Amino acid sequence: MRYISTRGQAPVRDFSGVLLAGLAEDGGLYMPENWPSFSADDLRAMRGLPYADLAARVMTPFMAGSIDPDTILRLCRESYAGFASKAVVPLVQLDSNLWTQELFHGPTLAFKDMALQLVGRLFDHVLNERDERVTIVGATSGDTGSAAIEACAGRERVDICILHPEGRTSDVQRRQMTTVLAANVKNLAVAGTFDDCQDLVKAMFADVPFRSEVHLSAVNSINWARILGQIPYYVAAAIALGAPDREVDFAVPTGNFGNVLAAYAARRIGVPIGRLVVASNRNDILSRFLATNDMSVNGVEASLSPSMDIQVSSNFERLLFELLDRDAAATATTMTEFRRTGKMPVSDAAWQRATALFIGFRLGDDETLAAIRALYAASGYLADPHSIIGIEAAAALGRPGTPMIAEATAHPAKFPDAIEQAIGIRPPLPTHLADLYEREERYSCVPADLSAIEAEVRALVARNAA
């Protein structure tokens, strides 16, 4: 399988090349040159498979020529073996035609684990074959750093250093990162804001001698492997509820558009998906686009669902490329214009193609709390402030006779303050994290200073080089 950039000016790569490269050199995002296709019989043959085996089957054609099928199967089994649900991504029925698919049974209680547990192992495998090492650096405001750390902890070919703003993450969030004691993990508490942390990471990448000295890399949400690791659960849910012989719909709590793009990919490879609901919080650039063809940047506002607080959805460029019939030059021009003016010019024809499949939905904070409360009162089911937005979207936009599946992206215990606001109870951590507050923490406090942070990264690399 070959991968091409959405902007057409970067080298064509195979899967391993795309995994290690992340962003393409021309600023574009990698996409498979062709969508593989699964027939109705292929899908029927997946009925009843364990999740890891189904995932391997779905992903194998995307890695053809890079990673052999036996290795893919082994890595998938290892990635999902530690999940707290044997089903890995269980479906819970909430109403006669409404299900939620829980994607939060991984080590950090959020759906990022679905892809990242696999991506960490893929890095190790590919780097081992090439006899190389990389150092992953990243900044987090709290809610996503832990998934990257858990993905890399204990991997042989990878070191990881994550910067968080000192004293500005919640205790759960900090502890989910700092209690991972593997020798290849370093947490830095930076005396500054999240923006300072992000700027420092950018500055490390811009420091070319440093960047090549420590083989800097990232596992951010634009990496194709992250999208790929999210396609199989759409296939699994659809098959469990009747595909290929019956159509299904999905509602997806959306931020950077990675998760819902994976749903789109599932449709492209042959899963009969009728409707995709893009559910957002008050940061509703996507639902405004879908309602009125207005993709204009407004600034970010903090909400109760911080992982969906985005100004621009970085993965939207992949959909744009598809809407423009894979015209890379047109995609590049549109993105340049968007960056220059803050408004994306999309033709009526392209917009109509988007609205034929995607529907937007928006839920503000007050409605989010009310919905958590109402669902809990009616059924005893406790949804986190991200997942509830998908569930509300699903309930509002489901179609009679068609199964509607709302993706649940985080465990309620990950956002205890919001849950307490909604129902007056702090949800307990699940068993595998119950002792989180007793575990030893390890992190270093550093000033917001590039050379101090580079020295920490060098020390990490030196420690594990031997």
Ligand X SMILES: *Cc1c(COP(=O)(O)O)cnc(C)c1O
Q: What angle do CA 446, 451, 457 make, to 5 degrees?
A: 70
Under the binding rule (CB under 6 A), the answer on residue 334 touching ligand X is no
The nearer residue to ligand X, 133 or 386, going by C-beta atoms, is 386
Q: How far is the CB of 143 from ligand X (least distance, A)?
A: 6
How far apart are the C-alpha atoms of 181 and 237, rounded to whole Å?
35
Two structure tokens written together for 180? 């991972």
Write out the DSSP string of 177-196: HHT---TTEEEEEEES-HHH
The nearer residue to ligand X, 140 or 259, going by C-beta atoms, is 259
Q: How far is the CB of 220 from ligand X (least distance, A)?
A: 11
Q: How far is CA 465 from the centre of its chain?
A: 30
Q: Judge whether 115 and 230 are in contact, CB under 8 Å.
A: yes
Q: Which residues, 6 or more positions from 419, have their beta carbon under 8 angstroms from its beta carbon?
A: 372, 382, 384, 385, 412, 413, 425, 426, 427
Looking at 48-56, 186-194, 249-257, 375-383, which segment touches ligand X (CB under 6 A)?
249-257
Q: What x-and-dash track marks residues 256-295 binding ligand X by CB under 6 A? A: xxxx------------------------------------
Catalytic residue among 86, 112, 186, 343: 112
The nearer residue to ligand X, 375 or 410, going by C-beta atoms, is 410
Q: Judge whether 424 and 416 are in contact, CB under 8 Å.
A: no
The nearer residue to ligand X, 173 or 221, going by C-beta atoms, is 221
Q: Count the site residues for ligand X by CB under 6 A.
A: 16
Q: What angle do CA 370, 373, 378 make, to 5 degrees?
A: 120
**Which residue from 118, 134, 36 is spatially nearest to 79, judged by alpha carbons?**
118
The nearer residue to ligand X, 18 or 453, going by C-beta atoms, is 18
Q: How far is the CB of 334 from ligand X (least distance, A)?
A: 20
Two structure tokens written together for 112? 């990022």
Under the binding rule (CB under 6 A), the answer on residue 410 touching ligand X is yes
Residue ranges in 81-140 that form contacts with ligand X under rule CB under 6 A? 110, 112
Under the binding rule (CB under 6 A), the answer on residue 409 touching ligand X is yes
Judge whether 202 counts as a catalytic residue: no
Contact residues: ligand X, CB under 6 A: 110, 112, 143, 221, 253-259, 307-308, 386, 409-410
Catalytic sites, residue numbers: 112
